[in-house]
Amino acid sequence: MSGVTMNKPLVADSAPKAPSGLHQPRLPRWAPAALALGAAAVGTGIGIGAGLGSHVQWGLLAAVLYVAGMFALAARVEGRRQAKDRLATSLVWVCFLIAVVPLVSLVWETIARGIKVLDGNFLSHSMAGVLTIQPGGGVYHAIIGTLEQVGIATAIAAPIGLLTAIYLVEYGRGRLAKAVTFFVDVMTGIPSIVAGLFVLSFWILMMDNGYSGFAGSMALAILMMPVVVRSTEEMLKLVPNELREASLALGVPKWRTILKVVLPTAIGGIATGVMLAVARIAGESAPIVLLVFGSQLINNNPFEGAQSSLPYYIYEQWAAGNEASYDRAWAAALVLIAFVMILNLVARGIARWKAPKAGR
Amino acid sequence: MDITPATAASPPPLAGGPAPAEQKATTRPGDRIFLALSRGSGILLLVIMAAIAVFLTVRATNALSHNEGNFFTTFEWSANSTPPVFGIAVLAFGTVVSSLIAMLIAVPVAIGIALFISHYAPRRLSTPLSYVIDLLAAVPSIVYGLWGALFLVPHLGGLYGWLNDYFGWTGIFEYHDGAARSLFTIGILLAIMILPIVTSVSREVFLQAPKMHEEAALALGATRWEVIRMSVLPFGRSGVISASMLGLGRALGETMAVATVLSPSFEIGTSLLDPGGGTFAQNIASSFKESGEIGKDALIASGLVLFVLTLLVNGAARLIIARRKEYTA
């Protein structure tokens, strides 16, 4: 089916003038590790020697040295084909390391810088009466805002997403279902700022409502729906048809079959999907900037007046641009990441605990 | 288990009545209510999509009717002055360029990681690794922005100086000292942000490559790289393309990370390393608070362009995936 053509003289090629019998000379197994260490050392050495400022360059240098060295060494000892293989292997490893470095750095920086001002006081106070250049203040108002906005968004998006998924899996046939499937897919790609602009244009500019947490929730709900639909759909498809048929054969109406048989079977996966979606929207800040407007004070009412939220708080503190506010931004980032990660871990925990009952 | 057009020949199911296969079951009121509810929410999703397009268009036309400049070619964003003058040329340039840089960096690396997870990593490592990659997709964009502005930017100055020394003559890599809050930095940051999604989709595809092909190649004496080049990559090509387009869609619409890192200006410079430029989403987020009525509508107009752009990219990606499914199903 694919263009796999293996008529090339692979076999002939793999048996070059082998010096002794079948065995090609191979590099020892520790060679890549040793070369990597060497490359790292030389990279650092050159970096220090040439006075290169950024560590990024040291790393890139070491990576290039390693890849080139490995290729040269393998080409000398093992032959061209093996050398190419080694080249690919080392490139793949380098790719992996290149990706890991910034991500580890991100997590590390957030924890190291965020832990400085993160304490009980930070979590239980708002920014009321605190100048941005002063240390002190906290994220309480932002946490309240995030919880309320995300809660409302979930209350809107989860039922709609769930029902849509049920429609697609249990009823969906024909053109409507195809259209819904396609647009759900496309909807996952809507930039969060566009969802924010939409709610802005119809809720605030056209219907003349003020900025409020609820407006933000609507934008978040739009972002959340397609994610819920997708994950729920996947889970419902895993429910074995025999269960449905058995229930229907007993004369149970279809809606009761769905509610009492299909949903309970898939509930673990559905809960996981919803929680992952919650984790995703909890970190959204773009719609909040447009719709909730930000506030320094505690506002417990999401339907009236400006609120804050954790992501928005980070942005605000970053924009203030001084050491005290940077500290607060990092601490809030740590709180947000912890919140999102806990949601993720719990969600995956549920997924594992309620492991797929299908496909036995 | 897909909803395939296999049953497309059945009578039109949109008539609102019971589906033909379940004769009696759907006549019960509970069933009818439930079907109406679930179909209703499906339709609601479509309505929302349509409403997004309609509302944005309405506001955008309002702004465009007041615009004294050319919406596509004006290098200026003074939507709040009278008369308002604004154009998206700079934003379009910045958005496309930064996303393309992100793609150029992220896609090869993501393919590498995907291959690492699917074919190179020790088996015991690969599951936790893919798990970690998925977790990374959950890191909020504002945190990437904060990290980019306070950690990445100071660390890139040296690299940019070096690029300037050796490649400055091209004009593209010209760099004058100062904070590296430029389009290129945005590109790097966006690349890091879209890595997880490109990786996880490509990994899925690579894992689906037919085992028989790989084993056959191995049996013929192919090295691991030859196996991948001959049986895994050709199989996964369309998957990788659509994964990259999904990543592109993300990069185009990324807001807060760009808004925190970039120091915007309304001009198109030849140098990618010097600060300046802007993107659609960044411009909306940063100039929203100072905007009046027309200013907001102008931002909505630029948002509409972004919406259409991401719609096209994502739609194309989905179509490629869907076509591939039909082949392999």
pLDDT at A5: 44
CA distance A166 to A263: 9
Q: Residue B162 belongs to what domain range?
A: 88-328
What does the block give as tokens for A155?
């209350």
Across chain B, mean pLDDT equals 84
pLDDT at B7: 41
What does the block give as tokens for B58?
């309405």
Across chain A, mean pLDDT equals 85
Whether A2 has a pLDDT exceeding 50, the answer reads no
**Chain B residues in contact with A95 (beta carbon < 8 A):** 108-109, 111-113, 116
Tens of pLDDT, residue by residue over B234-293, are 888 888 988 898 899 889 989 999 999 988 888 787 788 888 888 999 999 988 888 888
pLDDT at B19: 47
pLDDT at B6: 41
Provide the shortest C-alpha distance from residue A129 to chain B (in Å).
Answer: 22
CA distance B314 to A194: 14
CB of A12 within 8 Å of any CB in chain B? no
All residues at 6 or more sequence positions from B308 whose CB lies less than 8 Å from its CB, including other chains: none
Asked if the structure places residue B10 within a domain, the reply is: no
Of A22-31, A82-91, B210-219, the poorest mean pLDDT is in A22-31
The residue with greater pLDDT, B32 or B2, is B32
**Chain A residues in contact with B260 (beta carbon < 8 A):** 315, 318
Whether B61 has a pLDDT exceeding 60, the answer reads yes
Amino acid (one-letter) located at B305 = V
Nearest residue on chain A to B50, alpha-carbon basis: A183
CATH number for the domain that contains residue B155: 1.10.3720.10
What does the block give as tokens for B105?
């960096």
All residues at 6 or more sequence positions from A47 whose CB lies less than 8 Å from its CB, including other chains: A55, A57, A58, A61
Whether A56 has a pLDDT exceeding 80, the answer reads no
Asked if the structure places residue B25 within a domain, the reply is: no
Asked if the structure places residue B230 within a domain, the reply is: yes
CA distance A47 to A59: 9
When pLDDT is cut at 50, 70 and 90, the band that residue A222 belongs to is very high
When pLDDT is cut at 50, 70 and 90, the band that residue B54 belongs to is very high
Nearest residue on chain A to B25, alpha-carbon basis: A253
CA B325 to chain centre: 21
Number of domains in chain B: 1
CA distance B194 to A103: 12
Asked if the structure places residue B78 within a domain, the reply is: no
Residues 16-45 (A) with a CB less than 8 A from some CB of B: none
The residue with greater pLDDT, A360 or B152, is B152
Phi and psi for B79 in degrees, rounded to 5?
A: -75, -15
Asked if the structure places residue B185 within a domain, the reply is: yes
pLDDT at B327: 59
A147 by Cβ neighbours in 10 Å (0-12 / 13-18 / 19+) ranks as middle
β-sheet bridge partners, residue B277:
B265
**Tokens 């030389």 correspond to what residue?**
A42
**Tokens 């500019």 correspond to what residue?**
A205
Tens of pLDDT, residue by residue over A66-91, are 888 888 888 888 888 888 888 888 88
pLDDT at B101: 94
Asked if the structure places residue B50 within a domain, the reply is: no
Q: State whether the Cα torsion A351-A352-A356-B1 is positive or negative.
A: positive
- 3-class state of residue A66 by DSSP: helix
Complex ipTM value = 0.84
β-sheet bridge partners, residue B85:
B78
DSSP output for A292-330: TB--SS----TTSS-B--HHHHHHHHHHH-SHHHHHHHH
**Chain A residues in contact with B310 (beta carbon < 8 A):** 189-191, 194
In eight-state DSSP terms, residue B85 is E
From B279, B185, B205, B201, select the one nearest B247 (Cα to Cα): B201
Asked if the structure places residue B15 within a domain, the reply is: no
Query: Does residue A28 have a cis bond before it (omega within 30 degrees)?
Result: no
Asked if the structure places residue B41 within a domain, the reply is: no
DSSP output for B74-141: ---EETTSSS-EE-SHHHHHHHHHHHHHHHHHHHHHHHHHHHIIIIIS-HHHHHHHHHHHHHHTTS-H
What mean pLDDT comes out for the span B208-213?
Answer: 88
Most confident stretch, A23-32, B122-131, B233-242, B301-310: B301-310
What does the block give as tokens for B60?
């955008």
Most confident stretch, A139-153, B118-132, B232-246: A139-153
Of A59-63, A87-91, A209-213, B246-250, the poorest mean pLDDT is in A59-63
CA distance B256 to A328: 18
Number of residues that this document lists for chain B: 329
Whether B2 has a pLDDT exceeding 80, the answer reads no
Whether A172 has a pLDDT exceeding 70, the answer reads yes
pLDDT at B9: 41
CB of A119 within 8 Å of any CB in chain B? no
From A159, A212, A273, select the one nearest B45 (Cα to Cα): A159
Nearest to A255 among B5, B34, B131 (CB): B34
Q: Which domains does chain A have, with CATH numbers?
A: 26-114 (no CATH), 140-353 (1.10.3720.10)
Q: What is the pTM of this model?
A: 0.85
Whether B216 contacts A5, CB under 8 Å: no
